[in-house]
Each structure stands twice: as C-alpha cells, then as structure tokens.
Structure 1
Amino acid sequence: MFGRRAVDMAPGTHYRSERVSAVNGQYFFSTREGTLEGPFFTRVDAEREIALYIRRIQQASALMALSGR
C-alpha cells in the first residue's frame, strides 16, 4: 500500500500485516508504535480492543493539536 498518514512527512510504502496473534491460547495485537498489547482471552476481545486503542490514539492526537503541541 502506497500512501501517507497525516503525521508522515513524506509518502511511503506501508505493508499491512495480521495485527492479532495467538501465543499459548492468549491473543495479542501489535501497534504501529511497535508495542504488543494484551493478553486477551479471545480473538474477538483483541479485535474490540484494537478499535478502542485506535480511538484513544486519535483522541490523544486531537488533544495535542488543541493544546498547540
């Protein structure tokens, strides 16, 4: 995928990968920031948490923009 996120200085190639992984029966998801979030009991739980994580990141970015940083 070739494109640019709002925070990127220049266009680049971003490869999509499976964000949810299972380790010993527990589920985790990886972020663009390089963190591994979890564990979660089910894949559905992990996918729901991905949506909540994205919302938190977007809210934090909006607050930072409002504060002038």
Structure 2
Amino acid sequence: MFGKRAQDPAPTTIFRSDRICRVNGEFYFNTREGTQEGPFASREAAEREIKAYIARMQVSVPSQLNATSLVELNPPPGA
C-alpha cells in the first residue's frame, strides 16, 4: 500500500501486518510506537484494547502538541 500518514514527511510504502500475536496462550498486540501491550485472555479482548489504545493515542497526541506549543510561546524565565 502506498500512502502518507500525517507524521510522514513524504508518501511511502506502508506494510500492513497483524498486530496481535499469541505467546504461551496469551494475546498481545504491537504498537507503532514499538511497545507490546498485553497480556489479554482472548483475541477479542486484545482487539477491544487496540481500539481503546488508538482512541487514547488520538487524544494524547493533540494534547502533547498543544503543550509543546504553549511552552514555545511562553518559554520559562531565563530560557
């Protein structure tokens, strides 16, 4: 798949893979940030948590950007 995500500087080939893996009977999922989340008792539970994780990340990224912008606009004294 050829595309561009918001954080990518230019269009590139994006490879899709299954985010969920099973280790010793427990389910985990991998994130773009390079973490492995889990364990979960079932694949369905892992899939639900992926959706919740994505929702949390979508909320936190704009918050982090806003916080960074505020610091840049109002640098601490002596900076």
TM-score with structure 1 setting the length = 0.91
SS at match of 1:56: helix
Runs of 4+ in 1 over 6 A off after TM superposition: none
Q: Where in structure 2 are there 5+ consecutive unaligned residues? A: 71-79
Question: What residue number does 1:27 align with?
Answer: 27
1:48 corresponding residue in structure 2: 48
What is the aligned residue count? 69
Return the structure number with greater relative CO, CA threshold 8 A, min gap 6. Answer: 1
Q: Partners in 2 of 1:65 and 1:34 — Cα distance?
A: 20
CA distance in 1, matches of 2:65, 2:26: 36
More helix by share: 2
Secondary structure in structure 2 of the residue aligned to 1:29: strand
- What secondary structure does 1:27 align onto? strand
Larger radius of gyration: 2
Root mean square deviation, CA, Å: 1.2
TM-score by length of 2: 0.80
